[in-house]
Every structure is written in structure tokens, then in C-alpha cells.
Amino acid sequence: AAPVRFESVTKMFGKDVVAVDNINLHVEAGKLVTLLGPSGCGKTTTLRMIAGLEMATSGKITIGDRDVTKLPATDRDVSMVFQSYALFPHMSVLENVMYGLTFSGFAKDEARSRALDGLELVGLKGFDGRLPSELSGGQQQRVAVARALVLEPQVLLFDEPLSNLDAKLRRQVREDIRAIQQDLGLTVVYVTHDQEEALAVSDEIVVMRNAAIAQIGTPRQLYDAPNDRFVADFIGEANLLACQIISVEGDMATIEIEGYRHTLSSRDMPQGPATVAIRPSRLVIGAEQGIAATVAKATYVGVRMEYTLTGAFGQVFAVHDDVDAPLEPGAEIR
Ligand code: ADP
Ligand code: MG
């Protein structure tokens, strides 16, 4: 496994489309780093530049200590797993996984034994004789993962690998991908537009917006300390409320919303008007003191209650685990 580095990398399509705008990025060896952002922000293009399927317009890309900026895809020692599994329909599962191995010069017996090991790794032992059409979507994607894994690439790339799977399978396959990545110590760059998936699998998340990087951090850093509204809103849900910063001492700030004061951790901020982002699970509901609110909506979703609360501040979304004694719509609370 090797690290990947981008230095001031830009990708233009034609003269007008800036798909990736001057990004700097460092993916440590053996880590899983996710590119997360809305559709069209440049995730796939970034991934394809690592693979060598697109060439950078300017800047430098290194894998390990090799400058690969100008190298063709076949010389980069990288494999990619796509959203559409791209299996050969007329070949057996085993032949699909062996394909890249024989192509890159392994003798048939060695390729076969590596492919069988790969299938075992993704939980498909005994499926080697089947055709792709005889497998479920989740199993087909596992074959695609095995096919990429057996090449033992320096870097493994995933482009929205779970998009074609239903919710339950998505969770299972993403956990499997993460477990294999950690067991084998693989360098993985993983693309998704799904924030929950990104939070679940990543060592580090790169949030992209409009061809640029909005913020890089661990899942917890991004969730607890987003740099701006876009990141706060994109990673998980956030209630964005207008407030006044009354005072700042060290890394604590006292804010005021509708006459209620509260002290919280903050980056260095000037006094005055600001926006505070509050996670739905961090709102304390039914406190003695606090901001007056009315329960506008109460929804039971099994593991928790979801509330919409309204007041002079506007509207907030809150979640609470009081499923056995929920608040009723209309309740006046703080
Ligand atoms: P994402 O994967 O985040 O959805 P992409 O990297 O696919 O975004 O695309 C980034 C931008 O580059 C988009 O505006 C897209 O339309 C444009 N783009 C991507 N590939 C091409 C291409 N081959 N030719 C022209 N424009 C492209
Ligand atoms: Mg894409």
C-alpha cells in the first residue's frame, strides 16, 4: 500500500469546464479516505486522475515516491471498483476474478489460486463456478471487489460502489469493504455522495464543493467542527440558527438566542452576529430553562422520536430517544 499525493492538481474539460480546481490532497498509506460531495463536484474526475483514466491538466500526482502524473493507467498499479460492477456476463465468477491476473502475466494455476483466495476474502467461497447473472447485486459487487483486490494494487479506488444495492445490503457491503481494507492495510480512496456512508467507513473525509475541497478531517472533526455552513449541512443534519456572540474566552464562546445564553466550544470568533449549528441529537428537550418552543410535529421512527420545534428562533429538527413517553404535538417546552 502506498500514499497518494496531489499537488495543485487541476482538471479542465475543454476550455470552460473546471472539473477539479487546484486541489492539494494527501492520502496516507493504509488509510481509507473518502471524497464526499454533491453530484458534479469533481469526485469521479479526482478518482480517475489517480487511476490514470484522466490526465491532470496541471499539477502533480504521486503514488508512493513515483511521479505518476503522466503515466498511463496500466503503469500505475491501481485498481478501481465501479458502481456498475462491470463483470463479464459470459465468464464464470472465477474467470472474472482471474481475468486481470492472467492479463498481467500470472500463470494459470497461480491466478486460479489467488482468485479463489480473493473470493474467500469477500465471503464468496463456493461461488466460483457461477455466472454473474446467478448472483444477487451484493454478490456481484463482492466479485468486483475481489477482482480488484487480487491484483494487490498500491491503491484501491471505489466509485460509489454501493449505489445499486438496497439499504440493508449497502450497510453490509460497506462494513465488509472497511473490514478488508483494515485487515490488509490497503490504501483506499472511496467516492460517495452519501454522508452517512462516508462517516461510517472513513479514516478521513474530503468534502468537495464546486471542484474544490471544502474541508478535510476525520468523521468526528467534520461532524463536531465543520468549517462552514456547507460542511455543517452536508455532513449530517444541522440546525442553523442566528445568534449573537456575547463574549469569547479561550476556546469557549457565550452566545445568545432569543434572550437565552449558552456557553459552548468555539473557534476564535469576533463578538456580534453569527450562525450556530446545532446537531438534532444535541438539543436538550424539556429543560427547566432555555428557549421557548412548541412541538409542531412528533414522528415515531422506531429507534427514536423525531421532533420539529418552532419558536421565535424559527424552526429546528430534534431527535430524542424518549420513544416510550414522547412529547405530543402542541406541547410547550424549553
Ligand atoms: P462527481 O463525480 O462529483 O459527480 P464528476 O467528476 O463526474 O463529478 O464531474 C465534475 C464536473 O466535470 C461536472 O461538471 C461534469 O459535468 C464535468 N465532466 C466530467 N467528465 C467530463 C467529460 N468527460 N467531459 C466534459 N465534462 C466532464
Ligand atoms: Mg461521480
235 to each of 218, 221, 317, how far by Cα in Å?
12, 11, 15
Whether 43 is in the pocket of ligand 1, judged by its Cβ within 6 Å, is yes
Same domain, 202 and 323: no
Angle at 69 between CA 67 and CA 71, to 5 degrees: 90
Ligand 1 center to residue 17 CA distance, Å? 8
164 to each of 87, 91, 133, 221, 229, how far by Cα in Å?
14, 21, 15, 29, 30
Amino acid identity, residue 57?
A: T
Same domain, 58 and 206: yes
Same domain, 99 and 217: yes
Same domain, 264 and 133: no
Same domain, 153 and 302: no
All residues at 6 or more sequence positions from 289 whose CB lies less than 8 Å from its CB, including other chains = 260, 334
Q: The domain containing residue 103 runs over which residues?
A: 4-224
Q: Is residue 231 part of a domain?
A: no
Whether 126 is in the pocket of ligand 1, judged by its Cβ within 6 Å, is no
- The neighbouring-strand residues paired with 254 are 247, 263
Same domain, 216 and 259: no
- Which residue, 224, 247, 282, sits at the end of a domain? 224
All residues at 6 or more sequence positions from 29 whose CB lies less than 8 Å from its CB, including other chains = 1, 2, 3, 64, 185, 187
Same domain, 121 and 202: yes
Ligand 1 center to residue 147 CA distance, Å? 26
> If you count them, how many residues does the chain have?
334
Element (H, E) at 204: strand 204-209
Cα dihedral 284, 286, 288, 289, rounded to 10, equals 60
CA-CA distance, 19 to 103, in Å (whole number)? 32
Q: How many distinct structural domains can be found in the chain?
A: 2
Q: Which atom of ligand 1 is nearest to the CA of 45?
A: 6
Q: Is residue 267 part of a domain?
A: yes
Ligand 1 center to residue 228 CA distance, Å? 25
Whether 129 is in the pocket of ligand 1, judged by its Cβ within 6 Å, is no
Q: Which atom of ligand 1 is nearest to the CA of 11?
A: 12
Per-residue pLDDT of the chain (334 residues; tens, 9 = 90+): 999 999 999 999 999 999 999 999 999 999 999 999 999 999 999 999 999 999 999 999 999 999 999 999 999 999 999 888 889 999 999 999 999 999 889 999 999 999 999 999 999 999 999 999 999 988 999 999 999 999 999 999 999 999 888 888 889 889 999 999 999 999 999 999 999 999 999 999 999 999 999 999 999 999 988 988 899 989 988 999 999 999 998 889 999 999 999 998 877 788 999 989 899 999 999 888 899 999 999 999 999 999 999 999 999 999 999 999 999 999 999 9
- Which residue, 195, 224, 253, sits at the end of a domain? 224
Same domain, 17 and 158: yes
Same domain, 127 and 262: no
- DSSP states of 187-200: -EEEEES-HHHHHH
Q: Which atom of ligand 1 is nearest to the CA of 211?
A: 10
Ligand 2 center to residue 58 CA distance, Å? 21
Under 8 Å between Cβ of 319 and 307? yes
Q: Is residue 39 part of a domain?
A: yes
Under 8 Å between Cβ of 82 and 144? yes
Same domain, 292 and 219: no
- The neighbouring-strand residues paired with 305 are 300, 320
- Surrounding ion ligand 2 within 5 Å at CB are 44
- Which residue, 203, 224, 245, sits at the end of a domain? 224
Whether 16 is in the pocket of ligand 1, judged by its Cβ within 6 Å, is no
Q: Is residue 304 part of a domain?
A: yes
Cα dihedral 241, 245, 246, 251, rounded to 10, equals 120
Q: Is residue 230 part of a domain?
A: no
Q: Is residue 232 part of a domain?
A: no
CATH code of 38's domain: 3.40.50.300
Under 8 Å between Cβ of 288 and 295? no
Same domain, 70 and 20: yes
Same domain, 180 and 305: no
Q: Is residue 229 part of a domain?
A: no
Q: Is residue 71 part of a domain?
A: yes
- The pTM (predicted TM-score) of the whole model is 0.90
